[in-house]
Amino acid sequence: MTRTGRPPKPFEVHRAEGTLRPYHAHTPLLVGGRGRPRCPKYLAGTARDIFKLIVSDLWQGNILDKADRTLIVTAALHLATAFEAQAAVDKLGPVYQVTRGAYNGSPGYKVLEANPAVKIVRESLAEYRQCCDLLGIGPAARARLANMGVRGLTPLQALPGVGVKPTPLSLKVVDRD
């Protein structure tokens, strides 16, 4: 059975707007608590670096939960797999020559075959994209989070120099003779 009509507002939105009623859910969206997810010890190499990069980017937006760790690990593993498969594609190319029917001294014939690593890259990136959508990475996911009431950094906080009036020293013209 599908839900029709307007989707319900999260607990945090009702509390922020002052419209929290007794019939609204009083449990927040946090599952594992507001803590920075730690990189598991079994992740190594590129996947570990990707995990740390994703956590550092999302932690500033104040949308991470400790329970997001497994989803971040999944995203990091998929992206690391895509990078490794892309290295194989770069080495051999998207298609390569294969000799078929060469047995008992016959020369056989040569055909072009698609590199299976291309399929691995495509599938890994599709899975990574789904993980990113669930984590709130990407324009559509950020718009969905903004509609839910999640607030990130303001442009003044995120971009140094935004909103600052130029001083006469910064407008100084340099002669280049």
Position 175 in a domain: no
Mean pLDDT of the chain: 79
Position 170 in a domain: no
Position 127 in a domain: yes
- 3-state DSSP assignment of residue 15: helix
Close Cβ partners of 66 (under 8 Å, ≥ 6 residues apart): 31, 32, 33, 34, 35, 36, 37
- Domain of residue 141 covers 11-149
Position 160 in a domain: no
Position 165 in a domain: no
Express each pLDDT in 113-164 by its tens digit.
Answer: 999 999 999 999 999 999 988 888 877 777 776 666 666 656 566 556 655 5
CA separation for the pair 35, 15 (Å, rounded): 22
Position 164 in a domain: no
Close Cβ partners of 61 (under 8 Å, ≥ 6 residues apart): 136, 150, 152, 153
Position 21 in a domain: yes
Express each pLDDT in 3-22 by its tens digit.
Answer: 688 877 776 677 778 777 76
Closest C-alpha to 65, from 38, 28, 32: 32
Task: Find the mean pLDDT for residues 62-91.
Answer: 91
Looking at residue 155, its pLDDT comes to 59
CA separation for the pair 149, 9 (Å, rounded): 9
CA separation for the pair 145, 151 (Å, rounded): 8
Position 174 in a domain: no
DSSP sequence for 55-120? HHHHHTTT---GGGHHHHHHHHHHHHHHHHHHHHHHHH-SEEEEEES--TT---EEEEEE-HHHHH
CA separation for the pair 76, 39 (Å, rounded): 10
When divided into structural domains, the chain yields a total of: 1
